[in-house]
Amino acid sequence: MQAEEVYLSVISIYEYIRYKKDKKFYKTKLEQAFTVLQLDNNILEKAAEIFTKLKEKGTPVSENDIYIAATALAYDLELYTKDTDYQKIAEVEPKLKLKFIE
């Protein structure tokens, strides 16, 4: 069985290193271990669409979560998470493939 490649949004890296003392060390380790997906115009446009849909529905969600979900959608990737807020995003973006982990 071949191992699947694991991707991280640049936003996920930010969320992980922001409270670390040695930010550069942890950022480098993550970049060496995973393929890092940067934000681009397609992702930003998708994030703006998600934000608007959530706002219209009256469902607040962290903007970082919106960027991460938009990245998964743009690359047609399954999003592994413990954060149940992504379910709110999936309600307005049914193509979002979620896998909840413990």
Q: What's the pLDDT tens digit per position in 77-102? A: 999 999 999 999 999 999 999 999 98
C-alpha closest to that of 37 among 62, 72, 64, 89: 72
Residue 102 corresponds to which tokens in the numbers above? 């413990």
Domain boundaries, the chain: 7-100
Residues of the chain with pLDDT under 70: 1-3
Q: Find all residues with CB under 8 Å of 53, minimum gap 6, and list them.
A: 92, 93
pLDDT of residue 54: 98
79 pairs with which residues across the strands? 98
C-alpha closest to that of 78 among 54, 53, 102, 95: 95
pTM: 0.93
Superfamily of domain covering 7-100? 5'-nuclease (3.40.50.1010)
